[in-house]
Amino acid sequence: MGDSVHRLNTSLSDENFKQSCASIRDKLVRLDQSFINSILEHDDPQKAEIVLPDGRQFIWYLAIGSMNNPISLYLRDLYPIVSYPVVCPNYRVVFRSPSGMADIEPDPGTEFHGVVHLLSNDEMARLDKMESMYRRIPVNVIDYQDQSHLVYAYTTIIPKKTVGLPSERYLDIIVKGCEYYNVRPEYINRLKQKQAVVPRKQSQEFQSFTDIPIDAFFSTEELARHNGTDPTLPMWVCINGKILEYSGLPTADHPEYEEQRRFYSFFQPLYGGRQADYGVAKGLYEPLYKIPLNEEDLSDEHHAMIEDTFITMTTKSSQNNSYWKLIGRLLRPDTEFSTSHVHLN
């Protein structure tokens, strides 16, 4: 029997990643070295924070997942002052079920490689909100010149942690980021050759929402009113032109309450009452496609992939799929319809 374990194929996305890096290169402002030095002169390797005399703070952060990648950083408006590759001893990277996101756990005698970034305190606070399923812990790292430093890394707060497989998309992001920041090739090759992945779907395998009400169209204004801030209106979101309604949190004694509460607190400010495709594309960067700088940059296939991803994630995040109901389509300027089918409320 042949080997059924799937490994990462980076060649499929190499060209678009190069083009994406070129797209953002001109948009990034190169910091003056004297400014960088004025920060680093206050650095203490025994501390994960740098505090300047004027009170400004900067944080050393060890990226273990998608934040290894310059495109992922750019799409989250994170602009490191300094970035460099390191070894993190006595820890290992694991990928957690069900979505395969990276985590770290103590493992004496082993090590992994990652990328350290120096971020402003404001950027780190925003990253804390993005990483709502994680908490910061201090870890010691060693750079490739054998200099050690205390930094922060994220570890998941999810109970009953189980190990799973990363998606091919996610590992591709990590590997390309490691290559970009000059992580040692032997570690990169280990990820490519040893780490099994959940293979990317072919476009013909993408799931899509079915049973869409044929006579229900809603305006962008109506969508915006259902942004989750009005307790009398359910939250809506638009994915690939299709509008879904969130049923609301389960009761506090429900076994999925805490998971759904965390999901809602993360999801609502970002996507409630909005066309979410561009935001999802930024949050779930796919190297197969060139970096989307606006909604128009998304191809039909990219939109379809986002719809498939949303279906997969919402299904995996609960024991059933009852939290979302498909209620209609977004009314677009080029949509042909009878005016009796439009809901403007």
Clarify whether residues 69 and 155 are in a common domain. Answer: yes
Clarify whether residues 100 and 244 are in a common domain. Answer: no
The pair of three-digit structure tokens given for residue 315, joined into one six-digit string: 């299904």
302 falls in which pLDDT band (50, 70, 90)?
A: very high
Asked whether residue 2 is assigned to any structural domain, the reply reads no
Domain limits for position 221: 203-343
Q: Domain end: 194, 223, 239, which one?
A: 194
Asked whether residue 139 is assigned to any structural domain, the reply reads yes
Residue 35, CA distances (Å) to 1, 58, 165, 204 in order: 59, 13, 42, 51
Asked whether residue 3 is assigned to any structural domain, the reply reads no
Mean pLDDT along residues 93-109 = 93
266 falls in which pLDDT band (50, 70, 90)?
A: confident
Rounded to whole angstroms, the Cα distance separating 221 from 238 reads: 12
Mean pLDDT along residues 35-41 = 97
Asked whether residue 189 is assigned to any structural domain, the reply reads yes
pLDDT tens, residue by residue, 168-211: 999 999 999 999 999 999 999 999 999 999 999 999 999 999 88
Asked whether residue 4 is assigned to any structural domain, the reply reads no
Q: Percent of the chain, pLDDT > 70?
A: 93
The per-residue pLDDT for 338 is 40
3 falls in which pLDDT band (50, 70, 90)?
A: low
Please determine, for residue 344, whether its predicted confidence score (pLDDT) is greater than 50: no
**Position 268: which residue type?**
Q
Mean pLDDT along residues 95-107 = 92
Clarify whether residues 30 and 82 are in a common domain. Answer: yes
Clarify whether residues 111 and 222 are in a common domain. Answer: no
Please determine, for residue 161, whether its predicted confidence score (pLDDT) is greater than 50: yes
Asked whether residue 1 is assigned to any structural domain, the reply reads no
Secondary structure, 3-state, 118-181: EEEHHHHHHHHHHCCCEEEEEEEEEECCCCEEEEEEEEECCCCCCECCCEHHHHHHHHHHHHHC
Please determine, for residue 335, whether its predicted confidence score (pLDDT) is greater than 80: no
Mean pLDDT along residues 314-325 = 68
Helix (H) or strand (E) holding 90: strand 82-96
Clarify whether residues 268 and 330 are in a common domain. Answer: yes
- Among this protein's residues, is 131 annotated catalytic? yes
Averaged pLDDT score across all residues of the chain: 91
pLDDT tens, residue by residue, 202-240: 999 999 998 899 899 999 999 999 999 999 999 999 999
- The CATH number given to whatever domain includes residue 68 is 3.10.490.10
Clarify whether residues 178 and 274 are in a common domain. Answer: no
Please determine, for residue 50, whether its predicted confidence score (pLDDT) is greater than 90: yes
Clarify whether residues 180 and 299 are in a common domain. Answer: no
The pair of three-digit structure tokens given for residue 183, joined into one six-digit string: 């992580």
Q: Domain end: 194, 221, 246, which one?
A: 194
Q: Which of 123, 131, 286, 307 is catalytic?
A: 131
The pair of three-digit structure tokens given for residue 101, joined into one six-digit string: 């996101």
170 labelled binding-site residue:
yes
- The CATH number given to whatever domain includes residue 286 is 3.10.120.10
Clarify whether residues 187 and 216 are in a common domain. Answer: no
Whether the Cβ atoms of residue 148 and residue 87 lie closer than 8 Å to each other = no
Clarify whether residues 177 and 209 are in a common domain. Answer: no
65 labelled binding-site residue:
yes
DSSP states along 203-260:
GGG--------TT-EE-HHHHHH-SS-STTS--EEEETTEEEEE-----TTSTTHHHH
Asked whether residue 54 is assigned to any structural domain, the reply reads yes
Please determine, for residue 342, whether its predicted confidence score (pLDDT) is greater than 80: no
Rounded to whole angstroms, the Cα distance separating 328 from 197 reads: 35
The per-residue pLDDT for 130 is 87
Task: Please count the structural domains in the chain.
Answer: 2
Rounded to whole angstroms, the Cα distance separating 85 from 141 reads: 10
Whether the Cβ atoms of residue 335 and residue 242 lie closer than 8 Å to each other = no
The per-residue pLDDT for 202 is 92
Clarify whether residues 208 and 267 are in a common domain. Answer: yes
Asked whether residue 230 is assigned to any structural domain, the reply reads yes
Q: Domain end: 194, 220, 235, which one?
A: 194
63 labelled binding-site residue:
yes
The per-residue pLDDT for 334 is 60
Clarify whether residues 167 and 42 are in a common domain. Answer: yes
Residue 207, CA distances (Å) to 134, 172, 197, 301 in order: 29, 22, 20, 12
The per-residue pLDDT for 1 is 42
Please determine, for residue 340, whether its predicted confidence score (pLDDT) is greater than 70: no
Clarify whether residues 97 and 65 are in a common domain. Answer: yes
